[in-house]
């Protein structure tokens, strides 16, 4: 079975082509392939494309714990590069269909290593994120985590996010409170966490704990979520740069609410699973 591996600012994914390879995307198989000691190692698997009647490319996104994600900004850019390299995408613009909705993709470079993605619109409504309790906007709401009360803004951009603004952010704090936020009883489908530090009106810094994956060097959907939360709180302009440990992504919040994400993709490896690993799959 062949695989293709890429990363977006250190957030790495394995692409498995459902039309060319025999792979059963069970939780066990996904955990094994993503394992960094017993498998290839990655932050998830991108499985597709399903060639849909409307002309879009269907994509399934799996976290390394075997759960399925609705949307991933880095995953979308990575899968888009594979579509170009594998000959599926023959135009500079095309559409992907994910569990979190359809996204429009534009190839910005001849090498297909830079993409702009229309990630859709965000909602702060509790029922849509989802957040338990009475219907409300989840903007600047108290959230108690590990004995400390934070002010959190929660939203969905096809997948759920919890943004906590702080004077300074750190990897250590993301590791300390990330698991508790992800599994907080307020969030019935669990949630992604972004710790947000505003540098100036056009620049923010975030640390990320991803649902189903853990501490992450970079995340496209997290960048969109943090930028939208900061903008809604009046802390930043509509066009800004999001800095992460793995690198930076450009975000532009359009007047109609659509969020445009611009970021790179780099190839890592192409290869075949060894017989021993393939034999261990279901």
Binding residues for substrate: 11, 63, 73-74, 159, 192, 210-211, 220-221
Whether the CB-CB separation of 71 and 78 falls below 8 Å is answered with no
Q: Is residue 58 a contact partner of residue 97, using CB atoms and an 8 Å limit? A: yes
Angle formed at CA 32 by CA 170 and CA 102, multiple of 5 degrees: 70
Closest CA to 219 of 174, 257, 185, 183: 174
Phi, psi (deg, nearest 5) at residue 100: -90, 10
Residue ranges for the known binding site are 11, 63, 73-74, 159, 192, 210-211, 220-221
* Residue 18 in tokens: 């459902």
Dihedral sign for Cα atoms in the order 267, 273, 274, 277: positive
List 107's β-bridge partners, or say none: 115
Say how many residues make up the chain. 282
Token pair of 235 as six digits: 């802390």
**What's the angle, vertex CA 211, arms to CA 206 and CA 215, rounded to 5?**
50
Q: List the Cα angle 32/214/158 in 5-degree steps.
A: 100
């Amino acid at each position: 079975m062949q695989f293709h591996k890429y990363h977006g600012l250190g957030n790495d994914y394995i692409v498995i082509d459902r039309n060319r390879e025999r792979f059963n995307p069970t939780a066990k198989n996904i955990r094994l392939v993503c394992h960094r000691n017993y498998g290839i190692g990655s932050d998830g698997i991108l499985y597709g494309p399903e060639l849909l009647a409307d002309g879009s490319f269907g994509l399934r996104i799996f976290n390394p714990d075997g759960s399925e994600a609705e949307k991933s900004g880095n995953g979308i850019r990575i899968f888009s590069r594979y579509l170009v390299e594998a000959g599926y995408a023959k135009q500079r613009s095309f559409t992907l269909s994910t569990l979190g909705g359809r996204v429009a993709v534009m190839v910005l470079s001849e090498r297909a290593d830079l993409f702009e993605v229309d990630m859709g619109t965000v909602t702060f409504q509790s029922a849509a994120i989802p957040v338990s309790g009475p219907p409300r906007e989840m903007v600047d709401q108290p959230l108690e985590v590990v004995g400390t009360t934070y002010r959190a803004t929660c939203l969905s951009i096809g997948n759920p996010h919890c943004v906590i603004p702080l004077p300074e952010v750190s990897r250590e704090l993301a590791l300390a409170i990330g698991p508790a936020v992800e599994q907080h009883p307020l969030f019935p489908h669990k949630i992604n966490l972004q710790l947000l530090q505003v540098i100036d009106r056009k620049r923010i810094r975030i640390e990320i704990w991803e649902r189903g994956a853990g501490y992450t060097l970079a995340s496209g959907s997290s960048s969109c979520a943090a930028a939208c939360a900061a903008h809604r709180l009046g802390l930043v302009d509509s066009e800004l740069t999001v800095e992460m440990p793995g690198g930076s992504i450009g975000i532009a919040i359009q007047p109609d609410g659509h969020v445009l994400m611009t970021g790179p993709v780099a190839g890592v490896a192409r290869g075949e699973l060894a017989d021993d690993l393939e034999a261990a799959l279901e």
